[in-house]
Structure 1
Amino acid sequence: MFFDLPSHADLYQALLDRDDRYDGQVYVCVATTGVFCRLTCPARKPKPENCTFFATIGECIEAGYRACKRCHPLAPAADADPAIATLLAALDDRPDIRWSERHIIQMGFDLSTVRRSFKRQFGMTFLDMARQRRLREGFETLASGDNVIAAQHDASFDSPQAFRSAFARLMGCPPSALKAGGLLRVDWIPTTLGDMIAVSSASHLHLLEFVDRKALPRELARLRDFAKGDLGLGRYAPTDQIQSELAAFFNGASATFSTPMAMHGTAFTKDVWHALLTIPAGSTRSYSEIARDMGRPSATRAVARANGANQIAIAIPCHRVLGVNGALTGYGGGLWRKQKLQDIEHHYRPKSERLPA
């Protein structure tokens, strides 16, 4: 885990010094650029609050970061496996291709061998990597103010319609429904557990969800209705603030979230979310305990539903709620993420309460 690495301050100093003792052992992910680098990278150094450090390339890719084109952090892994080297080079050289299994076979590779190699090195398949890169590049093109045609080309989709369909599956609406600016603005945040979508107004954070959450399109649709259609691409200050606080959370610096949050729900649902905010980092509660503490001991199922309806992940810590027997249950971002969050929060417990990791 990350917390077995040297401290964030020590690693940041190593980044400033371009200390080659860490080359191949630690990588830095930069929240403001979405890129991960070697610590010896010659690029301009980011601010410390925008840096998260990982011991493996796979963790960086899983968190949604792209490899730096200056220091080429994928090169050692590629050198270790000719198939990986060839496919990564092809991915960079042919951004116009919509990669499929057919292309891999045409290049003379066995599908199962390639799948195992990429999963072993990076924690995802080659096709997963290619799809993630395409859709993210299209989203970023739209956010910069370009049109759907430009986004389609940058994302290497065969047609504007294909890009619109992929975008709509993620966002719950076609690209044309999200203009630049807006009362509420949508932006993309890379994190250590995968990319997230944030929606903010000028004063509050309204949504923070992982991009693969099934409920995300419905949640965005509700916010679009709330804003009377004025939902656009871009960001306000609350998105910058939550991105910085997420980076601090994942690098072990702070479990405090002070970004102003707008809660969209019934009075009971909001009461549950406020109860979640009282659970200290590193601690857990059961649904029945929350119901009892709220003075509603028979409302366990209602508490569970309200917990599942939370649309500001991590900052409103629904991941701290477990089943009555301590089992991981009901997390929209995936139970594997809930377990990862439990592992991370072990770091924030008082030392006297920590169990062996």
Structure 2
Amino acid sequence: MLFDLPDDDTLYTALIARDPAYDGFAFVGVKSTGVFCRLTCAARKPKRENSRFFSSIAACLEAGFRPCKRCTPLALSGEKDPTVTQLIDALDREPEKRWSEDDLLRLDYDPSTVRRAFKRQFGITFLEMARLRRLGKGMDVLASGVKIIDAQIEASYESGSGFRAAIARHIGVNPSQARTHQFLKADWLDTPIGSMLAVADNYALHLLEFCDRKALPTELTRLKNVTGSDIIMGRTPLIDRVEQEMNGYFSGQLFEFTTPLAQHGSLFTQKVWDVLRSIPIGDVQSYSAIASMMGQSSATRAVARANGANQISIIIPCHRVIGADGSLTGYGGGLWRKRWLIEHERRMSLRQ
């Protein structure tokens, strides 16, 4: 389970202070160098705009960052398993190598022992870590618009089918299928509280979610099934529009989104989403209050389910719904983000 991070300003302050309180629980990815570090790293500190914060090593690797050689974030504090240390060193020497269990056997390691050791220390296996490092690099290159074969080579995948299958697990389809299939396009949006994935066609936005949301793979599969469309990496004018509006929102200048939305849900679910969008910025409502607004006061649980089914974060502001007792309750993007968004909007409302 991911550690609930505080807001990015708090983490950046901790980074500058080299605060050990977050060691092992928070990491910073430096956009200008492509490395990720512990917050206690002694290296020169990045600028605020070049810093991305993560709650796990796996998230750093999947985002395409490589481990810093100075603070060695893969070498966690405490007693070090020599097997882990030796294999991390081997991975550092050959980060683009396509590792397999046969490679481990040739180095006289028992694959099951290695698997348990890495799972225990990092939450992922050694082979998963190696794949994430390669795939993250390939995803980053692919998102920049290069040809698939170039992204495959950059990620050190010898097999084109293997690379396409890996991308498909993250996005949903091999990009080359766009030539013969109807498709939606997906691209990354950077925000102060983490990267988001936007999926759109030329007419409407279908999905906007934080990239570390655990339900994202399921949501992408559901979207493909509902629309009958494949999803590839790429840009549409709608994604450009969303990015512009999101920048305005996070800068505190935009109070209402106008991007057309494709709302895939039942009539009841869509009515709930419409009510969510009617909640004034800076305000919050309970599930029961929303049910009452709809004239269905007994439908509190159904409202909660519809709220949780929202696939267009922030624009359909499910973060504005709290428990009847004032508690934040659940939020797929993490409660720390929900707190951040509510506080951000409270400050915005004071300036209206």
TM bracket, shorter-chain basis? 0.5 to 0.7
TM-score, length-scaled by structure 2? 0.64
Q: Is the 8 A contact 2:204 2:260 kept in 1?
A: yes
In structure 2, the partner of 1:199 is 199
Equivalent residue number for residue 40 of structure 1 = 42
SS for the counterpart of 2:218 is coil
Deviations 1:35-94 (A, max 9, x none): 423553348x33x2553456x764863884623556454264399443233322333433
Q: RMSD between aligned alpha carbons?
A: 5.1
C-alpha separation in 2, matches of 1:64 and 1:95: 15
Spell out, residue by residue over 1:111-154, the C-alpha distance to the aligned partner (whole angstroms, 9 max, x if none). Answer: 45434443444333323322323333222222233322222223
Contact (CA 8 Å) 1:64, 1:194: kept in 2 or not? no
Residue 295 in structure 1 maps to residue 295 in structure 2: yes
In structure 1, the gaps of 5 or more residues are: 330-334, 351-357
| TM-score, normalisation: structure 1 | 0.63
Contact 2:64 2:135 in 1 (8 A): no
- Paired with 2:334 and 2:137, the residues of 1 have a C-alpha distance of 28
Q: Aligned partners of 2:87 and 2:96: how far apart in 1?
A: 14
Provide the rounded CA distance (Å) in 1 between the counterparts of 2:57 and 2:99.
20
Superposition map of 1:44-193 within 5 A? 45-46=46-47, 48-53=48-53, 58=57, 61=60, 64=63, 66-69=65-68, 71=70, 73-74=72-73, 76-77=75-76, 80-177=80-177, 185-188=185-188
**Partner residue of 1:355?**
none
2:334 alignment partner, SS class = helix
The match for 2:219 is 215
Closer/same/farther in 2, CA of residues 308 and 153 from structure 1, 3 Å limit: same
Q: For structure 1, which segment, 83-92 or 61-70, has the greater mean C-alpha deviation from structure 2 after superposition?
A: 61-70
Corresponding residue SS for 1:311? coil
Q: Tell me the equivalent position of 2:271.
A: 271
Distance in 2, Cα, partners of 1:207 & 1:175: 18
Q: Counterpart amino acid of 2:260?
A: A
In structure 2, what is the equivalent of residue 310 of structure 1? 310
Q: 1:195 to 1:65 in 2, by over 3 A?
A: farther
* Counterpart position of 2:346: none
Alpha carbons 2:186, 2:200 under 8 Å: kept: yes
Query: Any idea what SS the aligned residue of 1:77 has?
Result: coil
Q: C-alpha separation between the residues in 1 aligned to 2:174 and 2:337?
A: 36
Structure 2 counterpart of 1:214, which letter? T
Contact 2:43 2:70 in 1 (8 A): yes
Change (3 A) 1:345 1:303: closer
The amino acid of 2:234's aligned partner reads L
1:332 is matched with none
Which position in structure 2 is the counterpart of 1:233?
A: 234
Tell me the percent identity. 36
The number of aligned residues is 322
